[in-house]
Structures are given as C-alpha cells and as structure tokens.
Copies of this chain bind each other. A is one copy, B any other.
Amino acid sequence: MAEARQALAAVMPGPGADVELRELPLPNLEPDSALLRIEFSEVCGTDVYLQQGRLAGVPYPIIPGHVSVGLLENIRGTLFDVDGRAFEEGERVTFLDVHRTCHQCWHCLVAKASTRCPHRKVYGITYGIEDGLTGGWSEYIYLKPGVRVLRMGEVASELYMAGGCSLPTALHAVDRAEIRLAESVLVLGSGPVGLSAIGFSVLSGAGRVLCIGAPDARLDAAMAMGADTTLNFMGNDDAARMDWVLSQTGGRGADVTIECTGAPEAVTQAMRYTRDAGRVVVVGQYTDHGETGFNPHLDLNKKHLDVRGCWGSDYSHFYRGLGVLRSERAAKLWSTMTLERFPLSHANDALQAVAEGRVTKALIVPER
C-alpha cells in the first residue's frame, strides 16, 4: 500500500442518482481493526433497490457492496478467527457484512433471533460514507473492530463470489427448509438466491429439484446448478405452472418450496405448489412490493402447511457456506455460474445489467 492515502470508491449519492467515483481517505485504524484491499465485490438485487431508493433507513451517500473478498493489507492489534487463531497481513479473507449484532438485546439473547437484532449494521447497506470505507465497491474497505473475518483457505475468490451474498442467504433458507433425503424441492426464482438454493438443495439430497423462473438463460443456469427440470413462467400462467408442478411431483405438490423471487404473489403460489403438510420458505421478499392475496382456508389451514419467513444471515451461514464450497462437488456446481466483471468505473453499467437480468452475477473488480 505504501503511499496510497486515498481509496477510489464508487459512491451512491442518493436515491435515483447515478453512482459516481470518489477518492476517499483511508481510515486511521482503531485497535483490533484492519484494512482490506478488495479483490472482488458484487452487485446484487439489493444494490439495485438501493439505487432505486426502495430500502428504508439507508444513510446516503453510501458505498455499495456488502459481500466481498480481498487481502488483509494492514492489521492494527489482533484479529482472531472463531478458533482463536490470529490473522496475518496478506491473508485472503472475506467477512460477515453484518456488524454490531449486539448479543445483548432481547432479540439476541432471549429470542435468539440475531438476524433481527435492531443494532446490526450492514456494510454497503446501512453503513454510509459517514462511517468510513464501509462498502465493497472500493479499493479498500475498513474492517472495524468486531467485524468477523473468515479465511478463504483453498476456496478460490471467484468461486466464492459466484455465490456472493446469495450463499449465506440461500443456506439459511435451506436450513429452514429441513430438506430430507429424496424429498422434492421446488425453487421459485432463478436469480442468484434461487440458483444457490438449487445448489444447496441438490447437496442436501433432494430427490428432485424443480425451478420455475426466467429468462431461459437463467433456467440453463438452474440446470447447471443441478436442477432436474425447469419451467419458464413467461408464457405459463398460474394454472399451467400448477399443472406442471403436479405433473412433476406425483400429483401432490412439492415437499418443500423455497420462494426466491421478489414478487409478492409468488408467496401465495409457493403455498399452492406445495403438498399437504409440506414446508414453504419465504426468502425472496427483501423489499416491500406491497400486498398480495391468499386464501387462508385452502392455502394454509386445510393444507396443514408450514410457512417460514427467513431473514438475513449470521456468521454460521458464512462459515458453513465457505465450508460447503470446500467440497469438490459443490465447487463444480457454483463454478457453473457465469460471472461478469465490471471495473469501478463501470458500476452503473453493472447495476443496469443486474436490474435487467442480463447477467447472472456481476462482480465489481476495483482495479484502477
């Protein structure tokens, strides 16, 4: 790093505005903090929502980019991993983008629902430039004291970023789904979370993994991630989709449905496409897109259904997500994800490509 005193970063000035490049000062490291030189960050659906101003409580201007990987350039004091081993400068790492989960409040200590802790701050989303270099679309990111860092070890950076934030998100959802061997899993949505949910369902021993999504390129990606068969919802109305699901599941509906779409009506469809006494996990509703209708008698009560919301992820999902990628089989699945790289200067193009669904996974590569 030597003489670099500034970091080039892509900044979202406010809702609706284009991203712009800025030179921002490097932080003075607090005790037990570090400076990370970013190798890759990502552009995900949340970043599109951020630009559209669809999320509440965002402290614009912000540097987007929550899940990132890079090299520990400077460490002040000591950073430990969960096994108590200190990190060294130069190590390739990622980190839990959620900071300041307090472990002191009712949500953390009584409900044990730490992803609902009201004190948590998320890099690239609820931290802004007022908080320093706190987003991955930047040459450097500041790992504040208490940030949980993870060694990449033998996992390639690009393989990990192929999952990116969808990795812990989808892993959490698949945990909640409690898939058992030979069960059928229907994934609604073929964006990054849907694709990772397919991969984890396959690895969990699902008997059949189905996907309803669009466009065709994403359904090809779904097949590459191990789906057994897919349906393009464009040109197939609700009735046609239902018929298709029933035809694929012995007339009963899926044992498990994982909703990863972002469309409110998909949650009701998820209930309908699932068999009696099955499980539905709702993980695609990260932004408020309004209400939808459902029939509590037919869709929930009579079906004896379990419907499980799934919010955020915690350290364990990052830790185990990385763990999964260590297996050769998982590596094969996630390496099928096509990545498109964008330099910082093309961050707006990246956002647009993601918004239009033109790329499966867009990475930000912050080289000058």
Question: Chain A residues in contact with chain B, CB under 8 A?
Answer: 80, 82-84, 103-107, 109-113, 115-116, 148, 171, 174-175, 180-183, 200, 203-205, 207, 250-252, 264, 267, 275-278, 282-298, 300-312, 314-316, 319-321, 323-324, 326-327
Give the complex CA separation of A171 and B293 in angstroms.
29
Given contact pairs A300-B307, A304-B309, a sample of 15 additional A-B residue pairs in the complex whose CB atoms are under 8 Å apart: A103-B103, A111-B277, A111-B278, A116-B304, A182-B326, A207-B320, A207-B323, A288-B295, A288-B298, A289-B297, A291-B294, A291-B295, A292-B293, A306-B306, A306-B307
Point out the residue from B106, B181, B204, B300 that lies within 8 Å of A83, measured CB to CB: B106
Least Cβ–Cβ distance between A18 and chain B, in angstroms: 27
A298 to B, closest residue via Cβ: B288
Task: Say whether A181 contacts B324, CB under 8 Å.
Answer: yes
Q: How far is the CA of A122 from the CA of B108 in the complex (A)?
A: 20
Given A300-B267, A300-B285: A82 and B103 interface contact (C-beta under 8 Å): no
Q: A276 — which chain B residues lie within 8 A by C-beta?
A: 107, 111, 113, 116
**How long is the Cα–Cα vector from A50 to B287 in the complex, in angstroms?**
42
Which residues in B have their C-beta under 8 angstroms from that of A316?
109-110, 112
A308 touches B310 (CB 8 A): no
Bound: A275/B312 CA distance, A: 16
Complex Cα distance A327/B277, Å? 24
A297-B264 contact in complex given A109-B315, A320-B182, C-beta closer than 8 Å = yes
**Closest 10 pairs (CB-CB, A-B):** A182-B323, A113-B277, A285-B301, A103-B103, A203-B205, A304-B311, A182-B320, A267-B296, A285-B297, A116-B276
A300-B259 Cα distance, complex, nearest whole Å: 12
Q: Output the least CB separation between A266 and chain B (Å).
A: 8
**Residue of chain B at shortest CB distance from A284:** B301
User: How far, in Å, is A203 (CB) from chain B's closest CB?
Assistant: 4
How far in angstroms is the closest Cβ of chain B from A51?
A: 18
User: In whole angstroms, how far apart are the Cα atoms of A179 and B180 in the complex?
Assistant: 10
Q: Is the CB of B296 within 8 A of A292?
A: yes
